[in-house]
């Protein structure tokens, strides 16, 4: 299974009145064909910024790194070149359909617009295809919905319209940015099931950006765990959930309520707050919040350690000379 998208050593910054905000630092990951890759982390970890910068949707500064899509280096593509990729070869579902869709345009026109631009369809051809897409994403009475505005639809239906627009041109990659935000649990399951079915039908790859580890466990093939703009652990879903090797990943998993837990047991949380992106720490960004922190963590960022061909994590706890420290701090190889 070869790679459809590859990001190597990507660093993204924003210039503000207070200084340079280093939103993403030295991020590397790859997306394989027909794979669901989840990017997880708490709010502000750089998940959405990283993916939007790949499509050049944000006015950011790329400090380093390269971006490859379908074997082509798109790192230096200008906006005109990216317009041929956005919506056509790479689709994106934004996290808030209410603010992402145009409230002044009918739903049918919003879907048809992409078809006419990228597929050179006539108005009638685009209309027929839009009706097919509405049916494909599970919207009943597509002819009626085609003529309506977004305020006529429920949250779940608006999200389905977003999916229809993103998949209109049969993209090779679909970026789903918090696709179940503000939806109730039943609708969340329907939306994720729909994405899984459409992935198989269209043979596309999906990048799932989320902080909901329950969604990740059910649908992701591989997971990238991000903290303070950096990937701290990458692995197959089974590796991450059953053999997490970074303290932050373990903290995220421990914070999930368990059905088999004692009713009197308190919920676990990660103490402290994420570091300031204006003044990133010289060593490990998770150092101030980590119960396994050592002196070296404060001064030096840990290199990635490979545990298998598909699983790696960046933490000094795995250094060869840290065996005694692991015992002292109570580190366990598995949860």
- pLDDT for the residue numbered 315: 95
Tokens of 111: 């879907």
Helix residue ranges per DSSP H, the chain: 47-54, 79-83, 97-100, 107-118, 123-136, 142-146, 155-166, 185-202, 213-219, 237-242, 247-254, 295-299, 323-329
**Rg over CA atoms, the chain:** 21
Strand partners, 247: none
- pLDDT for the residue numbered 293: 92
- pLDDT for the residue numbered 261: 67
pLDDT in tens, 214-244: 889 889 999 999 999 999 999 999 999 999 9
Tokens of 257: 């309520």
The answer to whether 234 and 312 have CB atoms below 8 angstroms apart is: yes
Helix residue ranges per DSSP H, 33-154: 47-54, 79-83, 97-100, 107-118, 123-136, 142-146
Distance CA 149, CA 110 (A): 10
Walk me through the domains of the chain, giving residue ranges and CATH numbers.
31-58+78-225 (3.40.50.300)
- pLDDT for the residue numbered 248: 95
Q: Which helix (H) or strand (E) holds 3?
A: strand 3-16
- Give the pLDDT of the chain (335 residues) as one tens digit per residue: 589 999 999 999 999 898 999 999 999 999 999 999 999 998 889 999 999 999 999 888 999 999 999 999 999 999 899 988 998 899 999 887 788 899 999 999 999 988 998 888 899 999 999 999 999 999 999 999 999 999 999 888 998 999 999 998 999 999 999 888 777 888 888 888 989 988 998 899 999 999 888 889 889 999 999 999 999 999 999 999 999 999 999 999 988 877 776 666 677 888 888 888 888 888 999 999 999 999 999 999 999 999 999 899 999 999 988 888 888 888 887 76
Could you tell me whether strands 304-306 and 61-69 are parallel, antiparallel, or unpaired per DSSP bridges?
unpaired
């Amino acid at each position: 299974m070869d790679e459809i998208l590859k990001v190597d050593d990507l660093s993204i910054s924003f210039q503000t009145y207070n200084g340079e905000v280093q939103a993403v630092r030295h991020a590397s990951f790859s997306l394989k064909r027909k794979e669901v890759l989840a990017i997880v982390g708490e709010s502000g970890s750089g998940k959405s910024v990283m993916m939007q910068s790949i499509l050049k949707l944000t006015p950011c500064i790329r400090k380093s790194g390269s971006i490859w899509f379908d074997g082509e280096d798109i790192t230096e593509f200008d906006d005109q070149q990216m317009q041929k990729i956005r919506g056509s070869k790479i689709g994106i579902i934004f996290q808030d359909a209410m603010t992402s869709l145009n409230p002044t345009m009918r739903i049918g026109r919003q879907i048809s617009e992409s078809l006419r631009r990228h597929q050179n369809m006539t108005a009638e051809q685009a209309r027929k295809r839009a009706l097919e897409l509405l049916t494909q994403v599970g919207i009943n009475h597509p002819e009626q919905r085609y003529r309506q505005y977004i305020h006529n639809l429920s949250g779940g239906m608006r999200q389905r319209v977003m999916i229809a627009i993103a998949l209109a041109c049969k993209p090779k990659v679909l970026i789903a940015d918090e696709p179940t935000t503000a939806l109730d649990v039943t609708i969340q399951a329907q939306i994720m099931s729909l994405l899984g079915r459409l992935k198989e039908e269209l043979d596309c790859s999906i990048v799932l950006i989320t902080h909901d580890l329950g969604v990740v466990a059910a649908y992701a093939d591989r997971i990238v765990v991000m903290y303070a703009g950096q990937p701290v652990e990458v692995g197959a879903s089974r590796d991450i959930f059953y053999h997490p090797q970074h303290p932050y990943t373990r903290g995220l998993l421990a914070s999930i309520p368990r059905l088999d837990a004692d009713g009197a047991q308190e919920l676990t949380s990660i103490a402290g707050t994420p570091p300031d992106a204006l003044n990133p720490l010289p060593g490990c960004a998770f150092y101030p919040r980590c119960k396994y922190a050592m002196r070296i963590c404060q001064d030096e960022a840990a290199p990635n350690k490979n545990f298998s061909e598909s699983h790696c994590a960046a933490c000094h706890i795995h250094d060869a000379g840290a065996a005694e420290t692991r015992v002292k701090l109570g580190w366990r190889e598995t949860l």
